Amino acid sequence: MRIVCLDLEGVLVPEIWIEFSRRTGIAELSRTTRDEPDYDKLMRGRLAILRQRGLGLAAIQEVIDAMGPMDGARAFLDALRADYQVIILSDTFYEFARPLMRQLGMPTLFCHSLVVDGSGMIADYRLRMPDQKREAVRRLKELRFTVVAAGDSYNDTAMLGEAHGGILFHPPDNVVREFPQYPVAREYASLRREIDSAFARAAGLG
pLDDT of 205 reads: 64
What is the fold, at CATH topology level, of the domain defined by 2-13+70-119+126-205? Rossmann fold (3.40.50)
Determine phi and psi for 144, rounding to 5 degrees: 70, 30
**Cα dihedral 42/47/53/59 (nearest 10):** 110
Q: Closest by alpha carbon to 84, among 6, 11, 14, 189?
A: 6
What is the fold, at CATH topology level, of the domain defined by 16-66? thrh gene product, domain 2 (3.90.1470)
The residues, any chain, with a CB within 8 Å of residue 185's CB and separated by 6 or more, are: 150, 167, 168, 169, 170, 191, 193, 194
Per residue in 169-191, pLDDT tens? 999 898 999 999 999 999 999 99
Q: Which of 7, 19, 152, 194 is catalytic?
A: 7
Q: Which of 9, 19, 95, 162 is catalytic?
A: 9
In the annotation, is 7 catalytic? yes
What is residue 116's DSSP assignment? E
Residues of the chain with pLDDT under 50: none
CA geometry: angle at 112 spanning 111 and 118, to 5°?
145
Q: Give 144's Cβ-side CA count (13 Å radius).
A: 1
Cα separation, 101 vs 144, whole angstroms: 27
The sign of the torsion formed by the CA atoms of 130, 134, 139, 142 equals negative
The residues, any chain, with a CB within 8 Å of residue 82's CB and separated by 6 or more, are: none
pLDDT of 173 reads: 92
Q: How many residues does the chain have?
A: 206
pLDDT of 38 reads: 83
CA geometry: angle at 6 spanning 36 and 185, to 5°?
80
In the annotation, is 9 catalytic? yes
CB atoms under 10 Å from CB of 201, counted, come to 13
Predicted TM-score of the model (pTM): 0.88
Distance, C-alpha 25 to centroid of its chain: 24
Cα separation, 8 vs 93, whole angstroms: 11
Domain boundaries, the chain: 2-13+70-119+126-205, 16-66
